[in-house]
Amino acid sequence: MVDAAPRLEPPRAPGAAACLRGQWTAAQFARPRQLRDLLAAMAAVPRNAGWDLREAQQLDHIGAQVLWEHWGRRWPDAIEALPAQRAVLERVARYTTDVPEPARRGLRARYFELGAGVLGALHALRLFVVLVGQLALDLLTLARALRRGPWKDFSGHLYRIGATAVPITALVGVLIGVVLAYLTAQQLRTFGADAFIVNILGIAVIRELGPMLAAILIAGRSGSSITAQIGVMRVTEELDAMRVMGISHSFRLVLPRTMALAIAMPLLSTWTTLCALAGGMMAADLSLGISPSYFLFALPDAVPVGNLVLALGKSVVFGVLIALIACHFGLRVQPNTQSLGEGTTASVVTAITVVIVVDALFAVVFQDVGL
């Protein structure tokens, strides 16, 4: 059986030619190790040596390209080749172009790139403000004609966003409560202030961690899903079909998702808070010996009602922002899969960032509420 592997016989004497053997084709070069060994053998051939291609069983454009690149994109001093082989080499030499070096960006180019980025951000902000205004108009339309509302879509989104997120929010809430209680107990035991773990857990979980954890989980779970759903509708041209039929994108797509998140977020926030308090209560019992009955009895006095009201208000704002951001990026998706992936990623990152920024603003503005 004839060996089809590409081989190279180096020159046997000074001024002799290097001989090619085997098949110099794409199928043979698909093996990385074989190609690496062949390139090493070619590198050992002197530059002034001739080349004899006549013994090669087959030479296609891939093999010719390997030779042409090794020769430095110029013909060697001495070459022996069959007419068909020379034709392939000449075709490769004719259509091989030099790759231009990347131009260095000057200060002017960087300045224009910065300006383009700022204009792009302002355009995206303008579209987001337009979406918010259109949502307000849709709410007025819904208030005037409740029967025309997309209630089936609303109930479906409420179930998918709220009910299906209960297990993951419960798990994260319990684990955060346990971790926070154990870390706090180590410091409180040092100062003999074990009873104050109720105050710390109550304020931290009810006021901040409960709404924040629920919002981040929903932003990553449901926000990405909303963006992907609307983005796929763009790819499959369903949005164009809705526009042709006169169906409003904001009324049928944005409005039900925003209402569902505005209602589901406070419920999920309360559920996450209860699970975190349950985990912290168990950890406090195991680490400090504080019984669950004492924990439940002391919690209302340690945490004023204003903290709960503030947490529920923040959750509604978080839900509306997550829905608007997810729908905004979904409607901006271009009809290709790359834009769909980039839009989904940008939606999740932007939603989580906005949730953290808004939470910080709530902490500053309402610093005297419930404390």
Q: Using CA atoms, how far apart are residues 151 and 26, in angstroms rounded to an integer?
A: 59
Mean pLDDT across the chain: 85
What does 14-48 look like in DSSP terms, one character per residue? TTPEEEEESEESHHHHTSHHHHHHHHHHHHTS-TT
pLDDT band, very low/low/confident/very high, at 322 (cuts 50, 70, 90): very high
Q: What is the mean pLDDT of residues 5-14?
A: 76
What is the token pair recorded at 207?
């006021």
- The helix/strand/coil state of 59 is strand
In this predicted structure, what is the pLDDT of residue 212? 93
CA atoms within a 13 Å half-sphere pointing along the CA-CB vector of 169: 31
DSSP state of 54: T
**pLDDT classification of 3: cutoffs 50, 70, 90:** low
pLDDT > 50? residue 194: yes
Tokens 């590198």 — which residue? 43
Note the pLDDT of residue 193: 73
Q: For position 214, what pLDDT does the model report?
A: 93
- pLDDT value at position 62? 83
Q: How far apart are CA 16 and CA 76, in angstroms?
A: 13
- Pairing between β-strand 7-9 and β-strand 58-59 as defined by DSSP bridges: unpaired
| SS3 of residue 107 by DSSP | helix
Q: Which residues of 239-275 are buried (b: 16+ CB within 10 A; e: fewer)?
A: beeeeeeeeebbbebbbbbbbbbbbbbbbbbbbbbbb
pLDDT of 97 reads 65
Query: How many CB atoms within 10 Å of residue 209?
Result: 20
Please choose, from the candidates 330, 359, 336, the residue with its C-alpha nearest in 3D space to the C-alpha of residue 249. 330
Q: What is the pLDDT at residue 228?
A: 92
CA 350 to chain CA centroid, Å, is 10
Cβ–Cβ under 8 Å, residues 266 and 315: yes
Q: Which of 18-32, 256-270, 356-370 has the lowest mean pLDDT?
A: 18-32
Q: What percent of the chain has pLDDT over 70?
A: 95
How would residue 173 be classed by pLDDT, with cut points 50, 70 and 90?
very high
Alpha-carbon distance of 198 to 194, in angstroms, equals 9
Whether the per-residue pLDDT at 353 is higher than 90: the answer is yes
* Predicted confidence band of residue 33 (pLDDT cuts 50, 70, 90): confident
pLDDT tier, 104 (very low <50, low <70, confident <90, very high otherwise):
low
- Average pLDDT of the segment spanning 245-249: 86
Highest mean pLDDT among 53-67, 255-269, 280-294: 255-269
Q: Give the pLDDT score at 1.
A: 46
129 or 57, higher pLDDT: 129
| Residues 129-151, mean pLDDT to the nearest whole number | 89
CA distances from 233 to 95, 149, 151, 348 (A): 42, 21, 20, 19
CATH assignment of 7-95, given 3.40.50, 1.10.10, 3.30.1050, 3.30.750? Answer: 3.30.750
User: H/E/C letters for each residue in 172-232?
Assistant: HHHHHHHHHHHHHHHHHHHHCCHHHHHHHHHHHHHHHHHHHHHHHHHHHHHHHHHHHHHHH
Inform me whether the pLDDT recorded for 49 exceeds 80.
no
Strand pairing report for 58-59 and 17-21: unpaired
Residue type, 260: A
207 CA to centre of own chain? 29
Distance separating alpha carbons of residues 187 and 163, to the nearest angstrom? 37
Predicted confidence (pLDDT) per residue in 62-97, tens digit: 888 888 787 777 787 788 888 888 888 888 888 776
Domain residue spans of the chain: 7-95, 123-365
278, 174 Cβ separation under 8 angstroms = yes
**Contact indicator for 4, 22 with CB cutoff of 8 Å:** yes
Q: What is the mean pLDDT of residues 298-306?
A: 84
Q: Say if residues 287 and 277 touch (Cβ distance below 8 Å).
A: no
